[in-house]
Amino acid sequence: MCGLIGFSDTAGTRHSGEAVVRAMALQHDRGNGLGAGYAGHGIYPEFPDHYAFHLIYETREALEATEAFIDHYYDLERAEALPTRRTTGITDAPLLWRYFAKPESKKLRDSGISDDDYVVNAVMHINTSIEGATVASSGKNMGVFKGVGFPEEIGHFYRIEDYEAHTWIAHNRFPTNSLAWWGGAHPFSLLNYSLVHNGEISSYGINKRYIRQFGYICTMFTDTEVAAYLFDLLIRRHGLTAEQACKALAPPLWSQIDRMDDKARHDYTLLREIYASAMLNGPFAIVLGTDEGMVAFNDRVKLRPLVAAVEGTQVAVASEESSLRELLPAPDFLWAPKAGEPVIVRRGQAFQPPVVSTSKPAGSPVGGAVASMDVLTSESEVSA
Amino acid sequence: MIGNLSHDKMNMAEADPATRPIEGYVHRAPTVTVSRRDTTAATITTAASSATATPAAPPAAIVDADHIYYRELNAAIAGLVADGVRDITLRRVNGQRYLGNGLTSPDLRLRIEGVPGQDLGMFLGGAAIEVYGNAQDGVGNTMEAGHIHVHGSAGDVVGYGMRGGEVFIRGDVGYRVGIHMKQYQSRVPTIIIGGKARDFFGEYMAGGRMILLDVASQLSGDALGMYVGTGMHGGEIYARCPVNPAQCGREVGLTPATDDQMAELTPLISRFCTVFGLDADRALAGQFTRIAPVSSRPYGNLYVNL
Amino acid sequence: MIDYIQPEFHVDIDYDKCHKCGRCQGQCGWGVYSFVGRPLPDDAKCRACHRCVTFCPAHCITIKRSDLAYRENPNWPVAARKAVWRQGASGGVLLSSMGSDRPRTSLFDALALDACQVTNPSIDPLREPMETRTTLGKRPQVFGDEPPKEWAGRMTLATPILFAPMSFGSVSLNVHKALALAARELGIYMNTGEGGLHPDLYPLADNVIVQVASGRFGVTPEYLGRGAAIEIKVGQGAKPGIGGHLPGEKINAEVSTTRMIPQGTDAISPAPHHDIYSIEDLRQLIYSLKEASGYKPVGVKIAAVHNVGAIASGVVRAGADYVYLDGMNGGTGAAPAVIRDHVGIPVELALAVVDQRLRDENIRNQASIIVAGSIRSSADLAKALALGADAVALGSAALLALGCHLCQGCHTGSCSWGLTTQKPELTRRLDPEEGAQRLVNLVGAWTHELQEILGALGVNAVESLRGSRDRLRAIGLDAQTCDILGVAPAGR
């Protein structure tokens, strides 16, 4: 059992992480103190074009080896220890550093690959080849702050309230199948994608082998990592839309596909066939944070909770309604998304709650009773 | 080593004292206000110190639950009940789980304002819980007796394994509602939903009665999801909506509700509408579909001895 | 010459219970019984097929292993001694049928599946969706890329099971009918084998894969056009590198018409396809078949041999829509025992290597993998899927469901169960409708069991088990075998 939160403002307005930490603290009992974390998108407006590397070092040697690597392959703008503060409950913190850098231009040119792929290769290299070094995040104008502790402790430790982001995702971990270590906490991140996950990906074995075909190497001993890489593959490299990526990872049942019109049936069949090994199976709720906004979705039969709310330009999702009420005390609408139907929030686009009738039930003492997403995407939208 | 940075500098000054993070819920006794019918309200800070009630006039109590941990809230409730309080209102509830867990006093009324957390009224053996707000997942889990009335919507898995009592949800509910409800001897559990329900409604249902009205929903689309009554082998579901056999498990049969059956439902539905201020005539109008198992042993032919 | 070989079985009849009805004599295809007031068995002819036992109304027949003692010598098992005696007397190549009877540890048996506890829920397959639908064939790498025009469509199976190729000739027409009827009912495919497609099966051809082997029996443009897919048979797990030989006695009028060869002549399949001497020739044949058939899926069946990874990669790059891997424990209608028992590798290893190889080359989406030889249960099925198979094919298991008792007499053409024979008095013993029902029952039961396994694994679609080797552990396998299988030892 874990807990999660996603928050995004379609107007691009940046919000302090303080409220997110407060909302996450209400889900304290969903974790066990062995992992928590936050990702903020839009937190480094002063470095919009630099890759912001957040590094976790278990040893001084790992730090030196990683910095030698970065120094060799990148033009470094700034390197500094992540600002933290001593916090009760947080012990044995590793060395935590951040670097704002761009690929060294001649080496990038010689490599013949895109700057994003150049960075992905660097992340894979550091994670697999430098013992004791883990890249927490590697995107632009974003960063991941995570570690071993309860969410309110990790938020305090990293001074999350000092950062302002248009999109936040947060996680409270109850690790089960994998170790409790700083790198293993959520969010998992690659380039501009950050991802938190509640549940377990029972199809991890094949997902991991599938993603390996495309050069992604899972090193974090946890199933969530693979979901972050899958989004990078499907959206950035295969060019799928966020909707299509969600439908590839949590596709409709064949019985649903069989009832679609010809075009939609053709497209969904192809989508399932192509990405059969990418399908995420087992109970999960996932929130993906990006530079564009946020995507939240569930497994195909809703085995993990997810509720959502909208208040003006702010949209939030969470494992429990209580967190939504903390973040958005007067929601315009609050609902439980349907299994496999993604909630997609894009900066610059007005968010449309997925419900036709937004009238609150008469006599309800509380604004916005739970409603559910009905039809977010028309069946054929995936082919658009 | 990059540039002139000194890595001897730690991430934080060693000299700084460790500070505490904020707490989501605080561990302290809530503020309780007890009012007697013939006396003025008295504010006290612990539940235990209110033990001066006269039996003739059961007092009522208001508990400020704002950011109080559930253990302290339930302890306050237990203390008030022990003191003879039979009408307790929790104000500013948000996410506290296990509220009303295992209460057994038949004459106790627990009012909750706000959003109670997971497993509201689990193992409830008596008492009437009224929620003025939405409820999260697991309402009335393994409930034995009593009432839970939610004046909003509820999440997934309402009434799991429920064996008695009644759960009324004014609005919509999520997935797996009434899963494995059962009846035993004179105990027949009842769930009535004013709005719509998602997939797996009445999955494994072994007894009791569920009624889905679809009169107080915010949602468009079908009133019932898929996989209705899969594995159902007892009890009955009435839905005030058309039901397609393709939505249902193969273990159930669909029939229009008969006049006799409607006569049995009418007082229940009327009471539901009275509780929530809904129009009973509207709720009773329209065709109800009865969903009931075709066999109490749906898998008799599935297995063969090795 | 005196026959040195003593009977393997002893037919024991309890004459006190015997009705003297003579049914045993009538049922036996091997001529075991004569009848002089009561049935008198000739033990030497008995193959322990249990046809007489099954039909004896008095339940008075017991087939026993002969008590005849041989001096112990572990280096010379009795079977090896008998083989020498037999070849000394005849000078012949030892012929046998069905799968190898050598004791060999099944790697499937050394693999254990995983299940969910606490951290993720198992799923109840009876009451929640549990998808077994499987598609075979090429698929693009990226959604949005339309498949190239020359790519065939994909084949859809309701469950990841097919019936393995068994030719009309080696098996009876009624067996073919039962397989085809069952395939239609189940939403899967049967496979003609190399003996052509009988006109009686034309109405069922949407669920039939038509095979093209080196003998090209019955291969016409019409034949290629009728099937749902075409399969090039390069090899068979029970006899890799060996051709076929259907004796003239089995070539009756119906077989003759279907194979398009004269009645009574031997039907000889050359060892290789004489138009495939190398991989580029395979490509030529694949595209020739696609061109002739209007671009139907074309699969290639190969025997699992040592270098199967590279071979399969070549087959996929040559354009095959699926690769069919047949392991060394696979069955046959007739094969030299020395080849059947000693050539090839187990399908578990071949599958593990091929799936990994195709992933390493990032061409796994270009072809599906079907495995056979031998899949004995839904457990083997599930483990094969976890190792990376898209589907499995059932040959021996399908025949067993139709009554086969694995007596290994297929090559004699006298199958008492009426399966691997063309004698009309024997073939009529199988009612195609009843046979189809047994096959539907078997595949239905295995599908249920597969759904239970998927549910226990906490996934609700078969593609989430497929290739998920994390869900397997090895018990008692050495480190190198574990490494090849891509499976961790149990406990790790």
**Residue A312's domain is classified under what CATH number?**
3.60.20.10
Closest CA to B233 of B251, B209, B211: B251
Chain B, nearest residue to C127 by Cα: B230
**Which partners does chain A have (≥3 C-beta pairs < 8 Å)?**
B, C
Looking at every residue in chain B, the average pLDDT score rounds to: 88
- Shortest distance between the Cα of B231 and any Cα of chain C, in A, equals 5
C-beta atoms of B249 and C448 within 8 A? no
Which chain C residues are Cβ-neighbours of B227 within 8 angstroms?
Answer: 127-129
Q: What is the pLDDT confidence band of residue B3, given thresholds at 50, 70 and 90?
A: very low
Number of domains composing chain A: 1
A301 contacts on B by Cβ (under 8 Å): 175, 199-200
* pLDDT exceeds cutoff 70 at B297: yes
For chain B, say whether A25 makes contact (Cβ under 8 Å). Answer: yes
Residue of B nearest to A63 (CA): B1
CB contact under 8 A, C128 and B299: no
Residues of C with CB under 8 A from a CB of B: 124, 126-129, 445, 448
Q: Is the pLDDT of residue B54 over 90?
A: no
- What is the 8-class DSSP label of residue A223? T
Split at pLDDT 50, 70, 90, the class of B50 is: very low
Q: Please, what CATH class does the domain formed by C109-489 belong to? A: alpha beta
Task: Look at residue B133 and tell me whether its pLDDT is greater than 60.
Answer: yes
Mean pLDDT calculated for residue range C347-356:
98
Q: Tell me what percent of the residues of chain A surpass a pLDDT of 90.
A: 81
CA dihedral of C363, C364, C368, C371, whole degrees rounded to 10: 120
Chain C closest-CA separation from residue A210 CA (Å): 8
Of C110 and A373, the one with more pLDDT? C110
- All partners of chain C with 3 or more CB pairs under 8 angstroms: A, B
pLDDT at C444 over 70: yes
Q: Give the integer Cα–Cα distance in Å for C336 and C233.
A: 18
Cβ–Cβ gap C142/A239 under 8 Å = yes
pLDDT surpassing 50 at residue A380: no
CA distance A281 to A204: 8
> Which residue in C127, C129, C448 is closest to B231 by CB distance?
C127
Residue B9 has pLDDT above 60, yes or no: no
The confidence score (pLDDT) of residue B6 equals 46
Q: B203 contacts in C (CB within 8 Å)?
A: 127-128
Task: Say what the pLDDT of residue C268 is.
Answer: 86
Of A86, A99, A359, the CB nearest to B218: A359
- Mean local confidence (pLDDT), C1-16: 95
Residue A218 lies inside a defined structural domain of this protein: yes
CB contact under 8 A, C448 and B302: yes
**pLDDT digits over C161-215, tens only?**
999 999 999 999 999 999 999 999 999 999 999 999 999 999 999 999 999 999 8
Residue C65 has phi, psi (to 5 degrees) of -70, 140
Q: Which residues of B touch A160 (CB under 8 A)?
A: none
Least confident of A87-91, A163-167, A273-277, B280-284: A87-91
| Cβ neighbours of C141 in A, within 8 Å | 274
Q: Indicate the DSSP class of residue B110.
A: E
Min distance A77 CA to chain C CA atoms (Å): 37
The whole-angstrom separation of Cα A311 and Cα A329 is 9
Which pLDDT score is estimated for C119?
A: 75
Q: Is C212 helix (H, G, I), strand (E, B) or coil?
A: strand
Question: Residue B299 and residue C126: Cβ atoms within 8 Å?
Answer: yes
- Kindly report the length of chain A: 384
Burial of residue B155 (CB within 10 Å: 0-12, 13-18, 19+) is buried
Comparing alpha-carbon positions, the chain B residue that sits nearest to A96 is B11
Backbone angles phi, psi at A138, to 5 degrees: -145, 20
B134 and A27 within 8 Å at the Cβ level: the answer is no
Residues comprising chain C, all counted: 492
Q: How far is CA C47 from CA A171, A201, C166, C337, in A?
A: 68, 52, 22, 17
pLDDT, position A356: 52
State whether residue A350 sits within 8 Å of chain B by CB.
no
Overall average pLDDT of the A64-89 stretch: 96
Task: Give, to the nearest 10 degrees, the angle between helix C432-457 and helix C378-387.
Answer: 50
Reduce the DSSP state of residue C82 to 3 states and report it: helix
Of C128, C143, C154, the CB nearest to A240: C143
Residue A119 has pLDDT above 90, yes or no: yes
* Closest chain C residue by Cα to residue B304: C445
C231 near C321, Cβ under 8 Å? no
Mutation for testing the C interface, residue in B230, B232, B248, B250 having most C CBs under 10 Å: B230
- Domain holding A29, by residue range, is 3-43+141-238+279-351
User: Distance between CA C84 and CA C94 in Å, rounded?
Assistant: 10
Q: H helices within chain A, ranges in order?
A: 18-25, 60-73, 105-111, 115-129, 151-157, 204-212, 224-231, 242-249, 254-257, 262-274, 321-327
Can you read off the two tokens belonging to residue B214? Answer: 């679809």
Question: Which residues on chain A are in Cβ contact (under 8 Å) with B156?
Answer: 302, 305, 336
Amino acid at B7: H
Overall fold of domain C9-92: Alpha-Beta Plaits (3.30.70)
| Closest to C322 measured CA to CA, from C305, C302, C307, C300 | C300
Can you tell me the mean pLDDT for A109-114? 95
Average pLDDT, chain C: 94
C362 reaches A (C-beta below 8 A): yes
The two tokens of residue C11 are: 């037919």
B-chain residue closest to C448, CA distance? B302
Residue A95 lies in a domain: no
A251-275 per-position pLDDT tens digit? 999 999 999 999 999 999 999 999 9
| B174-231 confidence digits (pLDDT tens) | 999 999 999 988 889 999 999 999 999 999 999 999 999 999 998 888 999 999 999 9
Size of interface A-B (CB pairs under 8 A): 192
Inter-chain residue contact C127 with B230, CB threshold 8 Å: yes
Contact C416, C98 (CB under 8 A): no
B216/A361 touch (CB, cutoff 8 Å), yes or no: yes
- The CA distance from C374 to the nearest CA of chain A, in Å, is 24
Would you tell me how many other CB atoms lie within 10 Å of the CB of residue B10?
12
Other Cβ atoms less than 10 A from the Cβ of B126: the count is 16
Domain ranges of chain C: 9-92, 109-489
- Higher-confidence residue of C119 and C416: namely C416
User: Do B230 and C448 make contact, defined as CB atoms within 8 angstroms?
Assistant: no
- Tell me how close the Cα of B88 comes to any Cα of chain A, in angstroms: 18
Please answer yes or no on whether C128 and B227 come within 8 Å at the CB atom.
yes
pLDDT tens-digit profile of C124-150? 888 889 999 999 999 999 998 887 877
What residue type is A238 in one-letter code? H
**Nearest CB to A320: which of B136, B200, B221?**
B136
User: Domain extents for chain B?
Assistant: 24-115, 153-297
Read off the pLDDT of residues C216-238 as tens digits, 9 standing for 90 and up.
Answer: 999 999 999 999 999 999 999 99
In chain C, whose CA is at the least distance from the CA of B228?
A: C127
Cβ of C127 and B299 within 8 Å? no
Taking contacts as CB-CB distances below 8 angstroms, the residues of chain A near B175 are: 301-302, 339
Which residues neighbour C334 within 8 Å (Cβ) at sequence distance 6 or greater? Answer: C95, C96, C97, C170, C244, C245, C246, C410, C411
> Band of the pLDDT at C103, cuts 50, 70, 90?
confident
The pLDDT assigned to A91 comes to 85
Stretch C317-330: mean pLDDT, rounded? 96
Please give, rounded to a whole number of angstroms, the shortest distance from the CA of A282 to a CA of chain B.
16
CB-count burial class (<10 Å; 0-12, 13-18, 19+) for C31:
exposed
- Is A275's CB within 8 Å of C142's CB? no
d(CA A284, CA A267): 24
Report the residue of chain A nearest C360, measured CA to CA: A213
- Checking if the pLDDT of A3 tops 70, the result is yes
Q: What is the ipTM of this complex?
A: 0.88
Which residues of chain A make contact with B117, given a CB cutoff of 8 A? Answer: 320, 322
Q: Which residues of A touch C467 (CB under 8 A)?
A: 205-206, 209-210, 277
- Is the predicted pLDDT of residue B52 greater than 90, yes or no? no
* pLDDT at position A178: 65
**Which chain B residues are Cβ-neighbours of C452 within 8 angstroms?**
none
Q: Chain C: nearest CA to B150, how far in angstroms?
A: 28
Mean pLDDT lowest among A222-226, A317-321, C47-51, C313-317:
A222-226
CB contact under 8 A, A70 and B217: no
Query: What residues of A act catalytically?
Result: 2
Interface touch C131/A254, C-beta < 8 Å: yes
A·C CB contacts under 8 A? 102
Integer Cα distance of B145 and B198 in angstroms: 25
Nearest C-alpha neighbor of A55 from the set A73, A16, A26, A81: A81
* Nearest one of B171, B182, C455, B254 to A301, comparing CA atoms: C455
Percent of chain A whose predicted confidence (pLDDT) is above 70: 91
Give the pLDDT score at A207.
96
Return the amino acid letter for C322. Y
> What CATH homologous superfamily does B153-297 map to?
Glutamate synthase, alpha subunit, C-terminal domain (2.160.20.60)
Indicate the pLDDT class of residue A69, thresholds 50, 70 and 90. Answer: very high
Q: Nearest chain C Cα to B179, which residue? A: C127
